Structure 1
Amino acid sequence: MVRFVLLLSLLLTYAFTVSAQPVGKLVRRHPGIVSYTFRDEFAKDVPATLDHIRQLGITDLELSNLFGKTAAEFRTWLNERGIQCSSYGVSYDDIQKKPAEVLQNAKTLGVQFVRVAWIPHEGAFDTTMVRKAAAVFNTFGQLARQQGITFCYHNHGYEFAPYGQGTIYDELMRLTNPDYVSFEMDIAWTFLPGQNPATLLAKYPKRFRLMHLKDIRKGVPGNDQGKLANENSVILGTGQLDWPTILKAVNQSSITHLYIEDESQAATEQVPQSIAYLKGL
């Protein structure tokens, strides 16, 4: 009996210690940034924009595109600054029509992930479209896997239309092979269509590998169209998202890379404050 009481006491002490840790210590890695955050700057001067990112203390980048440069040029500039490009964003058409070129660029950049962020569609996104997309993703995902690269799909909100006992997003999860297709959660485009990011992470703890971190101005209504006015992308911790709960859920998931994505025209001023917020959690 004495041994049981001592064991219970130790377990309770350990549980309290873990639960009392600051959220920041539970998150496995420091956040990187999505190139879209500084899209205007990248379009004008890639090396100078990479210098700015490095000055912010960021060493992990997700490229949304190559901004008219070659993958080899980008890799040289990244190496010179000690920045890792861990994820490379391409279009849905790219993975269908030129998969070999996509994968060659990915290997040149040294990325771990290739991701697609939009499935072309007219009107409502329906099950016919999701079945076609799942087949495309499975095919490309298998090719990527053979090259040691993981394919991810990034949500934009329209995927959460009701379907059966869940959503079309659930159907996309069901139809895609987890060996070949993983996911990147955009928190804003999970929350705005009415989903709970932490709950979705818990539902699919092994499917998500990447995450976009952005916050939404208080009072902005929900929508499922993947559109957010620039001024409604605000400093992390000042908007509608429950960051402590979400980041604790991240720690229980398979997510390995977190990227700040600030869509505001004031991103230069806001990103340092978002970094400070995450460090202070």
Structure 2
Amino acid sequence: MLRLLATGVAGSALLPHLARAAGALEGGAVPRIDRMGLQMYTVRAALSKDIEGTIAAIAKAGITELEFFNGFGKDVTWWQALLKQHGLTAPSAHEALPKTDDAWKPIFDRAHGMGHKLVIVPFVGDDYRGSKANWQRLADRLNAGATLAKAAGLQFAYHNHDFEFTPVDGTTGYEVITAQTDKDLVKLELDLYWTVKAGQDPLAIMKRWPGRIVAVHVKDAGPAPERKMLEVGAGTIDFKTILATGRKQGLKHWFIEHDNPTDPIASITASAKALKAL
């Protein structure tokens, strides 16, 4: 939403222009992408060897937001200084689901120190899969974690792979998660590649759960049946339509990712260039 505190003749003169801009946003048009995120898993090998050099290269590639998954042995203060040096922010982090709910506190404390606004459970093991009952247990754990996150002033979400869409006991893990978690507390980070890999339509998911998807992972998928993971723009996913739809619904973040790129920085640069051209 556009906001302006306008006074006097100059402010009044701007109002028609702002009205047209606001109408364009509400009527279907969305502004060009003006920031670019990266899930740091993409550059995990490079970070393990040279954190400072890798972060500098990431910033040079046009990335402005980072999604953490590991601190690589450095504390919050160290990371804060490095990110500030390169004009980067870290609005999101992937955090493994802890064994007990009281273990969320240090995770949330670190999130505050890093400036994260969003804490995301990125993956679950076999003990939460394989049956409807197991997925229901996960939904209960997610609700509990999300309640604690809200009390800590953080937003909570779940990130999918492909296995959440595997049929089990007449349903799927994704159906259980979306139906049995609080939609206001447990948000979704939709991984566009893994969703397509599972034979699902990301756009249909966005339309089914409008406003619940607060972040997406952007990586492309080659043609069926292999659905090879590719850089944005090199495959079959309609990022322009998906991102425009998501942003109208409140999508806040889009994080470039590639699980095993041949050249991580070249991969990031190519994906960022493709996204900026949308």
Is TM (by shorter chain) over 0.5? yes
Does the CA contact (< 8 Å) of 1:33 and 1:259 recur in 2?
yes
Q: Distance in 1 between matches of 2:77 and 2:137?
A: 33
CA 125–71 in structure 1, closer or farther in 2 if over 3 Å, else same: farther
Q: CA deviation at 1:77?
A: 1.4
Q: CA deviation at 1:79?
A: 1.9
Partner of 2:200: 195
Query: What is the 5 A alignment of 1:233-272?
Result: 233-263=229-259, 264-272=261-269
Indicate the SS of the match to 2:66. Answer: strand
In the alignment, structure 1 residue 277 sits paired with structure 2 residue 274: yes
Q: Distance in 2 between matches of 1:203 and 1:27?
A: 25
Aligned-residue CA RMSD (Å): 2.4
Does the CA contact (< 8 Å) of 1:29 and 1:258 recur in 2?
no
In the alignment, structure 1 residue 143 sits paired with structure 2 residue 148: yes
Q: CA deviation at 1:50?
A: 1.3
Partner of 1:159: 164
Report the AA paired with residue 261 of structure 1: E
Q: CA deviation at 1:166?
A: 5.7
Indicate the SS of the match to 1:92. Answer: coil
Runs of 4+ in 1 over 6 A off after TM superposition: none
TM (norm. structure 1) is 0.82
Q: Distance in 2 between matches of 1:124 and 1:113?
A: 24
Q: CA deviation at 1:110?
A: 0.8
- The Cα offsets for residues 136-159 of structure 1, whole Å up to 9 and x where unpaired, read as 111111111111111110001111
Q: Which stretch of structure 1 is more off in the superposition, 246-255 or 45-54?
A: 246-255
CA 124–90 in structure 1, closer or farther in 2 if over 3 Å, else same: closer
Q: Which runs of 5+ in 1 are unaligned?
A: 1-13, 223-231
Q: Distance in 2 between matches of 1:250 and 1:27?
A: 13
Query: What is the 5 A alignment of 1:204-223?
Result: 204-221=209-226
2:81 equivalent among 72, 76, 91: 76
- The Cα offsets for residues 9-63 of structure 1, whole Å up to 9 and x where unpaired, read as xxxxx88x966x5xxx446652211101111111112222111111122111000
Report the AA paired with residue 72 of structure 2: F
Q: Distance in 2 between matches of 1:136 and 1:61?
A: 26
Partner of 1:120: 125
- The Cα offsets for residues 190-220 of structure 1, whole Å up to 9 and x where unpaired, read as 1111110011001001211111000123345
Q: Which stretch of structure 1 is more off in the superposition, 89-98 or 140-149?
A: 89-98
Q: Distance in 2 between matches of 1:45 and 1:214?
A: 24
Q: Which runs of 5+ in 2 are unaligned?
A: 1-22
Q: CA deviation at 1:271?
A: 1.8
CA 261–183 in structure 1, closer or farther in 2 if over 3 Å, else same: same
In the alignment, structure 1 residue 67 sits paired with structure 2 residue 72: yes
In the alignment, structure 1 residue 40 sits paired with structure 2 residue 45: yes
Indicate the SS of the match to 1:247. Answer: helix
Q: Distance in 2 between matches of 1:186 and 1:211?
A: 5
- The Cα offsets for residues 218-270 of structure 1, whole Å up to 9 and x where unpaired, read as 34526xxxxxxxxx432211112122322222223221011000221222212
Indicate the SS of the match to 2:189. Answer: strand
Q: Distance in 2 between matches of 1:123 and 1:260?
A: 27
Q: CA deviation at 1:165?
A: 7.6
Q: Distance in 2 between matches of 1:97 and 1:142?
A: 12
Q: Distance in 2 between matches of 1:217 and 1:161?
A: 20
Q: Distance in 1 between matches of 2:208 and 2:171?
A: 12
TM (norm. structure 2) is 0.83
Q: Distance in 1 between matches of 2:33 and 2:58?
A: 21
Partner of 1:88: 93
Report the AA paired with residue 237 of structure 2: L
Report the AA paired with residue 137 of structure 1: L
2:55 equivalent among 50, 57, 67: 50
